[in-house]
Amino acid sequence: MGIQKILNANAQYGVPVKIFTNDIDQESIEQLKKMAQLQFVHSHIAVMPDVHVGKGATVGSVIPTKHAIIPAAVGVDIGCGMNAIRLNLKASQLPDNLAPLRYAIERKVPVGFELHKQIKAKASSVIPLEKRLQPIIKKHPGLVRMLRKFDATWQKQLGTLGGGNHFIELCLDENQDVWIMLHSGSRGLGNVIGTYFIELAKKEAQHRFGHVPDKDLSYFAEGSNSFDDYVEAVEWAQEYAFENRREMMRLILEAIRPLLPPFQMTKEAINCHHNYVSREHHFGEDLLITRKGAIRAGRDELGIIPGSMGARSYIVKGKANPESFCSCSHGAGRKMSRSKAKLLFSQDDLIHQTQGIECRKDSGVIDEIPSAYKDIDQVMANQSDLVEILHTLKQILCIKG
């Protein structure tokens, strides 16, 4: 399927909004209309099939801008994304009881608000990040005051999962090959950078491009000091998120090796962002592309689209669809808020919906119950024009923050 719904430009809002699904709520539509009013948005806004309302900008939106950037559209989980590798192991080589594997990973990789007691990341990861960070905090010392034990915290959080919808999974594909897949971002310092610059944009309230329909859509204009500083900081956070996932994967492999037959990683390894901004060329223009809950799906580019903790996930190859700005969905997408999920579902519901999966089944993760998410198979059907499915994964072990 291709574009299924278009919000056409009119007197109230500027560019069209092209939506790759019919499954979209009115609140998201109203939010997208506000985004489309921004005069620096180029061509149109593309909306992925996992669309749902977000803070400031709609989750599942791809926003092309020229000469301006919106910090709230990138969000506070800067560089959040996925990492997956395939092992040369088959399902038959796994132990019948997966609980020891889960406990071994949980001992190696802190989850939620936890961090390593000591710096676990390699110096080759930490030193370049530290060198790039110094000029950022020199210009914006307020960042340091927003994170407790600043230097120790960001360094000790390298190789940690975080909370919410972040996860680590052991999966099997259609050939019964074993995969490790994880979802995480830039942790505490990424959140601080996002929060700091979102508030700075609101405070500066630049009006070079006219009226802003929502204060959460406050922007920095290219050529301003704040624009350059934000781009520098957001690129740092994106690199940190990438290194965080890579370090976490290293620790996971260390944790499971003693419990499994000898194995190697295959060449099929993917590490991709889905909350980020990048400079790209589309429709004859050099643009800033903000993907808020979307991944890049350029020609033959590999990506990961996870379902919920009880549904399938997909390894995909991009089709470089120009109308989506070479993008696709970043997952199934929530169909209800966390608070609503906690009201509607019980621990018994969670146990039933995660049957056969080694995972937490306590009340602390009810907000991540599969029924709180859209049907991933329908989401995939809606984006057949955007990606080709290479592998279908089903999790057998899941660790949630």
Give CA–CA dist 66/69, Å, rounded: 8
Cβ burial 128-165 (10 Å sphere, 16+ → b, else e): ebeeebeebbeebeebeeebeebeeebbbbbbbbbebb
Is residue 183 a known part of a binding site?
A: yes
Within 140-268, residue ranges assigned H as helices are: 142-145, 150-156, 187-204, 225-256
Is residue 168 a known part of a binding site?
A: yes
Is residue 275 a known part of a binding site?
A: yes
Is residue 331 a known part of a binding site?
A: yes
Is residue 282 a known part of a binding site?
A: no
Is residue 333 a known part of a binding site?
A: yes
Give CA–CA dist 108/300, Å, rounded: 34
Is residue 401 a known part of a binding site?
A: no
Exposure on the CB side of residue 296, measured as CA atoms within 13 A: 18
Asked whether the beta carbons of 208 and 220 are under 8 A apart, the reply is no
Is residue 330 a known part of a binding site?
A: yes
Is residue 306 a known part of a binding site?
A: yes
Asked whether the beta carbons of 35 and 61 are under 8 A apart, the reply is yes
The dihedral sign for the CA sequence 7, 388, 354, 107:
negative
Return the bridge partners of 178, or none.
172
Is residue 166 a known part of a binding site?
A: yes
Is residue 307 a known part of a binding site?
A: yes
Please choose, from the candidates 75, 24, 79, 33, the residue with its C-alpha nearest in 3D space to the C-alpha of residue 52. 24
Within 307-374, residue ranges assigned H as helices are: 338-344, 347-353
Give CA–CA dist 363/169, Å, rounded: 20
Is residue 169 a known part of a binding site?
A: yes
Is residue 345 a known part of a binding site?
A: no
Residue with the two structure tokens 């909350």: 275
Catalytic residues: 330
Q: Is 324 helix (H, G, I), strand (E, B) or coil?
A: helix
Burial (CB count <10 Å: 0-12, 13-18, 19+), residue 14: middle
Is residue 381 a known part of a binding site?
A: no
Give CA–CA dist 148/159, Å, rounded: 18
Burial (CB count <10 Å: 0-12, 13-18, 19+), residue 235: middle
Burial (CB count <10 Å: 0-12, 13-18, 19+), residue 321: buried
Is residue 242 a known part of a binding site?
A: no
The dihedral sign for the CA sequence 186, 189, 190, 195:
positive
> Would you list which residues are annotated within the binding site for GMP?
165-169, 274-275, 306-309, 313, 330-333, 400
- Binding-site members for Mn(2+) are 77, 166, 183, 274
User: Binding site, residues?
Assistant: 77, 165-169, 183, 274-275, 306-309, 313, 330-333, 400
